[in-house]
Structure 1
Amino acid sequence: MSRVCMVTGAGQGVGRAVALSLSASGHRVALVARGTERLESVAAELPGPALVVPADVTDAAALDAAFAAVEGEWGPVEVLVSNAGSGTAAPLVDTTDEQWQQALELNLTAPFRCMRRALPSMVEARWGRVVVIASVVAKRGESQVSAYSASKHGVLGLVRAAAAEVARSGVTVNAVCPGYVDTPMTDTTVEAIAQRTGRSLEDARQVLARRQPIGRLVTPDEVAQAVDLCVGSAAINGQGINVDGGAVQS
């Protein structure tokens, strides 16, 4: 059955891979991100219907308008994949209030607002899927990313609380927790490591690859496969599914 899906952060990386996978499964996919050009490029790749909805997910009014646009075109969102996120690397003592707030707004508050907007219609319909792209640092602390780690710990708690609330309604809420994924976001991390340590970009990338037992970066498609699992199963609820090559075993 074709469902109405919304993917935030859909212009590249994991969001693009998730959108492609959902579309290949026969669903209609609304693509949300700040950059219209990237969204239109992804929309052109999808085999099925796509809706380009430019919006800054940290802007509450813009996010509400994005949901309204999808509802006006296709009806209520049935599958929400809250993927938009980013991180800044800095020692805790050098992390500014602005960096802290930005991490919370994008990685925690935006998924909260997305859920708050999407869940009522899902519960009413007695069917819905919410998947938040979190991180393995939702389950462990990691040096140099205190704000990012705190925001991802928070969003995993949000997922678990929401899942408990809707468990009897036919709606599921889960998180997918990737390790280092081969995306533009990781490219930024690689550049930061290279600048901080004097390593080459390739050496810095290998540092991240070696943090995962499989010895390589995770692919965006591998993260999308975990999202598909959450969308397809009514019995997976309240979980943080690790996609990290075995770095965090839980």
Structure 2
Amino acid sequence: MTALAGTHALVTGAGRGIGAAIAARLAAEGARVTLLGRTRDTLEHTAQQLAAKHPDSVAGVVCCDVTDAGAFAAAVQAMPRVDVLVNNAGQATSAPALRTSDALWAQMLAVNLTAPFTCTRAVLPSMLDAGWGRVVTIASTAALRGYPYVAAYAAAKHGVLGFTRALALELATKGVTVNAVCPGFTDTELLHESIANIMQRTGRSETEARATLAALNPQQRFVTPDDVAHVVIGLCSPAAGSLTGLAIPVSGGEVM
């Protein structure tokens, strides 16, 4: 038996990158996993890979935008009780503060702050009924420090950390833990977009742009999706009942 056998886990933004790595680790620990995201083809491809390695591990594939609270709540109602929620879906768009439009500000908050709140709110009643649950939100080192040109993103990630800490205390006696994992620059498609922005803005080559970001990590490398997934699995374990309200950086020492 593995640690999460008999549980149902829901991962948002599960089609690729960190979300796909987390889904794979959850499946390896015995959970049945529902993959949720906006792109069905990507989700189904990931689900096929997961099922090939861990038969019967895929509970479902749900195409849904996490910023549509009503659609997400309806999806939750149609699936088995959620024991583990991983709020992984996120978006990062950079702009100088004076060029950050109202629309960009609202979008960053909608995806990175409001969606984790509404998604968590949708699954909490069943967790409380069961007296057990795990909520893990993928934040960022931008929840713990500032970075230039991402004021809206950093504000949203700081906000989600406040939500995590407040909810952890609210649920401290209910058997439900609430935590955040804060990766540094991670080798995903979001990183590739950041590199492209640096290249466009500064005229640097891809190699130079990658080196600029990697240098922020004292280990001189990018975090991998698996690095993040291993920490998430630890927080989801039944043995992690005393771990709540945490913001765990996965950043090679960039943030301590």
**1:117 correspondence with 2:122:** yes
Which residue of structure 1 aligns with residue 43 of structure 2?
Answer: 39
Q: 2:215 and 2:75 mapped to 1: Cα distance?
A: 39
Which residue of structure 1 aligns with residue 74 of structure 2?
Answer: 65
SS at match of 1:143: coil
Q: 1:205 and 1:29 mapped to 2: Cα distance?
A: 33
Which residue of structure 1 aligns with residue 30 of structure 2?
Answer: 26
Q: 1:2 and 1:41 mapped to 2: Cα distance?
A: 24
Q: 1:170 and 1:231 mapped to 2: Cα distance?
A: 12
Please state how far the C-alpha of 1:212 moved relative to its aligned partner: 0.5
**Contact 1:54–1:66 under 8 Å retained in 2:** no
For 1:44-59, list aligned pairs within 5 A. 44-46=48-50, 47=54, 48-50=56-58, 51-59=60-68
Unaligned runs of 5+ in 2: none
TM-score (norm 2): 0.94
SS at match of 1:88: coil
Amino acid at match of 1:24: A
Worse-matched range after superposition: 59-68 or 158-167: 59-68
**Contact 1:20–1:45 under 8 Å retained in 2:** no
Unaligned runs of 5+ in 1: none
> How many residues are aligned here?
245
SS at match of 2:180: strand
TM-score (norm 1): 0.96
**Contact 1:174–1:239 under 8 Å retained in 2:** yes
CA RMSD of aligned residues (A): 0.8
Which residue of structure 2 aligns with residue 94 of structure 1?
Answer: 99
**Contact 1:53–1:69 under 8 Å retained in 2:** no
**Contact 1:111–1:155 under 8 Å retained in 2:** yes
Q: 2:75 and 2:154 mapped to 1: Cα distance?
A: 28
Amino acid at match of 1:39: L
Please state how far the C-alpha of 1:37 moved relative to its aligned partner: 0.3
**1:242 correspondence with 2:218:** no
Please state how far the C-alpha of 1:69 moved relative to its aligned partner: 2.5
Please state how far the C-alpha of 1:8 moved relative to its aligned partner: 0.1
Please state how far the C-alpha of 1:195 moved relative to its aligned partner: 0.6
Aligned to 1:11, which of 15, 18, 21? 15
SS at match of 2:78: helix
SS at match of 1:112: helix
For 1:220-231, list aligned pairs within 5 A. 220-231=225-236
Task: Could you list the structure 1 runs, at least 4 aligned residues long, displaced by more than 6 angstroms after superposition.
Answer: none
**Contact 2:147–2:154 under 8 Å retained in 1:** yes
Q: 1:24 and 1:40 mapped to 2: Cα distance?
A: 18
**1:81 correspondence with 2:80:** no
**Contact 2:11–2:19 under 8 Å retained in 1:** yes
**Contact 2:69–2:119 under 8 Å retained in 1:** no
The superposition leaves residues 114-167 of structure 1 with CA deviations (integer Å, 9 ceiling, x where unpaired) of 111111111111100000000011011110000000000000000001100001
Q: 1:239 and 1:123 mapped to 2: Cα distance?
A: 20
SS at match of 1:225: helix
The superposition leaves residues 60-116 of structure 1 with CA deviations (integer Å, 9 ceiling, x where unpaired) of 12111221232xxxx210000000001111100100000000000000000000111
Give me the identity figure in percent: 50
**1:144 correspondence with 2:153:** no
